Structure 1
Amino acid sequence: MKKHLVLTISVLFIVSIPSYSQNQSKTDLKKEAKTIEDLTIQSLKLRQQVNPEMKNQELINEIKILDSTLLNKVTLFLNEYGWKSKKEIGELANMGLFLAIQHSSTEEMESFKEIIEQAYHNNKIEKSKYALYRDRLRVRNDLPQIYGTQYYFDEESSSFRFNKIEDFENINKRRRKMGLPKIEKYAKQNNIALHQ
């Protein structure tokens, strides 16, 4: 009788371990996603204060520190859980995964290329975000962008200008495929000079 009771308790304990482990993993995932979400909100609030026509080094330094913290959290998250969709972790946390990479150095952006490609092919990242990533990486590598998402503030003319765009004549076809508005509308919304 004692042997049977010990065996039953042992089996129950062994069976409960995977269940506990799965619940703990879900709890950890939610906790990490919440941290990324909070950092993303802070990042977005700080970026709203940026004025390209004014130099605010204190604000820029604060953004750099926050970007570094967010990137560190996102790197750990991706190593542990892989890329998670909006449905899995919520819109803000999912945005945080993307923004951390988008605001990182060229080398860091390159290091995430495989996971971004995989997320895109598995429909876990929006087409428009993928287009932003591709364009920014190309611009950083001194290549013309494909989708026309990247622009800069030209101090000489005191206006926003697009970084060089490949095959400008067919830009709207490529933008449409990625769920982006026509280049003319995008330029008008962001006050960007439209000539190449």
Structure 2
Amino acid sequence: MNDNHIAKIAFFLIILCLTKSIAEAQSAINLTLKRKLDSIMVLDQKYREDIVLLMSPGNEEYLSKKYNVQKKLLNQTLWKKQHTIDSANIVYISAVIKRYGYPGKSLVGTPSNEGAYYVIQHSSRIEEYIKTIAIAAKRTELPFHLYAMMEDRFLMDNNKELIYGSQAASITLNGSINSYIIWPIKDPLHVNELRKKAGFELTVEQNAERLGVNYKVIRMSEINMKK
């Protein structure tokens, strides 16, 4: 047996091993769950995309005709439709987590591993699942910046300062001025360093622009907490 023949056999064995490894990796993915989570991600955005459109002037006429709803009722109607979907989604995701733990990339691949995250992020049950999300992120089953966004959301919901500056809110500043702002940040001087470390691609200023906010540093003392 000459060297050329041996080399061909070795190459064939390497390809065989690689094919086997890929097949084994693919077989570890729960395809049924993956497809379901992909569908859930679509449903999670079903009306949110048009709600965002509604925030920009000039889209009311188009959306009013699309849904056959009066302009003044559009926001209420779209949120009602989305909340109905969200309620069903969180029930399903809760059952999935109870059975499998967080459905991360090892179980469903990417980007399907983000499906459960967004359902929780858009629910009222962040407090219940934030530790689960933290563990998934630390194990790289989920991008860490998503956990960072949820942590910020949790802090804002509890009237605490953000770490990463990822959340915006329409609030009343002292003096009764209603403003759309980036919620107060604990360390605004170093927030972009923290964002970069967490995996965010945009600076806090760029993220604010994306959200339609004129960014400026706001302190908790400037916010009127009276409901």
TM range, smaller chain: 0.7 to 0.9
Specify which of 60, 85, 96 is matched with residue 79 of structure 2: 60
Matched, 1:117 2:129: no
TM-score by length of 2: 0.67
Query: Relative to 1, partners in 2 of residues 1:123 and 1:189: Cα closer, same or farther, differing over 3 Å?
Result: same
Amino acid at match of 2:181: R
CA RMSD of aligned residues (A): 2.5
Q: Residues of 2 paired with 1:178 and 1:92: CA distance?
A: 18
Any idea what the Cα deviations from partners look like across 1:11-58, whole Å, max 9, x if unmatched?
A: xxxxxxxxxxxxxxx79x432332232122022131100034775211
Matched, 1:77 2:78: no
Structure 2 counterpart of 1:129: 146
Matched, 1:91 2:110: yes
Structure 2 counterpart of 1:182: 203
Amino acid at match of 1:81: Y
Any idea what the Cα deviations from partners look like across 1:66-87, whole Å, max 9, x if unmatched?
A: 1111111111111111123235
Structure 1 residue matching 2:156: 3-state secondary structure = helix
Contact 2:161–2:186 (CA<8 Å) still a contact in 1?
yes
Structure 1 gaps, min length 5? 1-25
Q: Residues of 1 paired with 2:169 and 2:133: CA distance?
A: 24
Q: Residues of 2 paired with 1:173 and 1:153: CA distance?
A: 26
How much does 1:92 deviate? 4.5
Higher helix share: 1
Amino acid at match of 1:175: R
Q: Residues of 2 paired with 1:189 and 1:58: CA distance?
A: 25
Structure 2 gaps, min length 5? 1-27, 57-71, 219-227
Q: How many residues of Structure 1 are paired with residues of Structure 2 in the alignment?
A: 169
Q: Residues of 2 paired with 1:188 and 1:52: CA distance?
A: 14
TM-score by length of 1: 0.76
Matched, 1:151 2:172: no
Contact 1:147–1:165 (CA<8 Å) still a contact in 2?
yes
How much does 1:88 deviate? 3.2
How much does 1:157 deviate? 6.8
Contact 1:39–1:66 (CA<8 Å) still a contact in 2?
no
Any idea what the Cα deviations from partners look like across 1:106-136, whole Å, max 9, x if unmatched?
A: xx21111221121122111111101101000
Q: Residues of 1 paired with 2:135 and 2:83: CA distance?
A: 27
Structure 2 counterpart of 1:49: 50
